[in-house]
Amino acid sequence: MSEGEEEIEVSESGQPIFRHKPRERPFEPAISDGSDAEAICSHVESHLGPIDLVYHELLSDLVHIDVHEIKPRPDRNFWTFITTGMSDRPMTVPDGVDDARYAELMICLPPTWKVSDEAFQDEANYWPIGLVKMLSRLPHEYQTWLAPGHTVPNGDPPEPFDPTTKFCCALLVNPQTTPPGFDQVETAPGKVVRFLAVIRLYLEEVDLKLKKGSDEIFQKLTKQGVTELLKPGRKNVARKSIWPF
């Protein structure tokens, strides 16, 4: 390591660990003409069906994040939520991965999840939406990027996203519940927006990923059929017991 370079912290698996310090960047109002959102929504509806509702952000810092809702239907019997606005600004990507500069996020919730303006007044119902909004803004707040295999813990050390759950970390993956052709959309000449799905992890699963790497946790999650569709109380794939805790 040459003089002046910062030492990069790595996990046992050899993957880099970035610890975000308290944000120093001042509030910066978001500016967007909405053209990307129109292209994204058209793409989403052509693959997943009509968008039923949009949760508009009233005060936006850096990027204007709206969350688009698709209700459960016979062919997709769960709630789907997809962001727009994250891709209004490019992420700060390493050299050689310019094709990953723009992204939007998606999550899915079971059909029994309480979804409404009133229900979202209760953090026990709202936390998955709050999570995806936080993740959408994070790359722009800290000049970083999100891509498949990246994990974002809820604090350091990680704490549950809400007292009603043991999930404490987000894992970014390629969408698992969508049809072929959904994964990306060209919103303007030369601008490709990729969709990333969010899987929620238990603390032991985070530890496994740090020790063994992304492939190990991906294999275990895939074997158990874990996708972006949240299943409260699902099996903890890093434990031998059938119970998550």
pLDDT tens for the chain, 245 residues long, are: 334 334 556 556 555 555 556 556 777 878 777 789 999 999 999 999 999 999 999 888 899 999 999 999 999 999 999 999 999 999 999 999 989 999 999 999 999 999 999 999 999 999 999 999 999 999 999 999 999 999 999 998 999 999 999 999 999 999 999 999 999 999 999 999 999 999 999 999 999 998 988 899 999 999 999 999 999 999 999 986 444 44
- How confident is the model at residue 190, as a pLDDT? 93
Sequence letter at residue 132 = V
Q: Is the peptide bond before 163 cis (omega within 30 degrees of 0)?
A: no
In angstroms, the CA 200 to CA 107 distance is 10
- How confident is the model at residue 124, as a pLDDT? 98
pTM of the model: 0.87
Closest CA to 141 of 23, 30, 29, 58: 23
23 within a domain of the structure (yes/no) = no
Which DSSP state fits 239? S
236 within a domain of the structure (yes/no) = no
In angstroms, the CA 88 to CA 64 distance is 8
Between CA 102 and CA 43, with CA 79 as vertex, the angle to 5 degrees is: 40
- How confident is the model at residue 22, as a pLDDT? 59
Cβ-proximal residues to 219 (8 Å cutoff; 6+ apart), any chain: none
- How confident is the model at residue 243, as a pLDDT? 43
How far is CA 38 from each of CA 29, 86, 94, 150, rounded to the nearest angstrom? 21, 14, 28, 28
In angstroms, the CA 2 to CA 27 distance is 35
Cβ-proximal residues to 55 (8 Å cutoff; 6+ apart), any chain: 66, 67, 68, 69, 129
How far is CA 119 from each of CA 72, 107, 114, 127, rounded to the nearest angstrom? 17, 18, 6, 11
Per DSSP, what are the bridge partners of residue 53?
Answer: 69
How far is CA 114 from each of CA 107, 123, 192, rounded to the nearest angstrom? 15, 11, 33
27 within a domain of the structure (yes/no) = no
Q: Count up the domains in the chain and report the number.
A: 1
In angstroms, the CA 221 to CA 199 distance is 10
41 within a domain of the structure (yes/no) = yes
16 within a domain of the structure (yes/no) = no
Q: Are 136 and 102 in contact (CB under 8 A)?
A: no
75 within a domain of the structure (yes/no) = yes
In angstroms, the CA 146 to CA 91 distance is 8
Q: Which domain holds residue 216?
A: 35-223
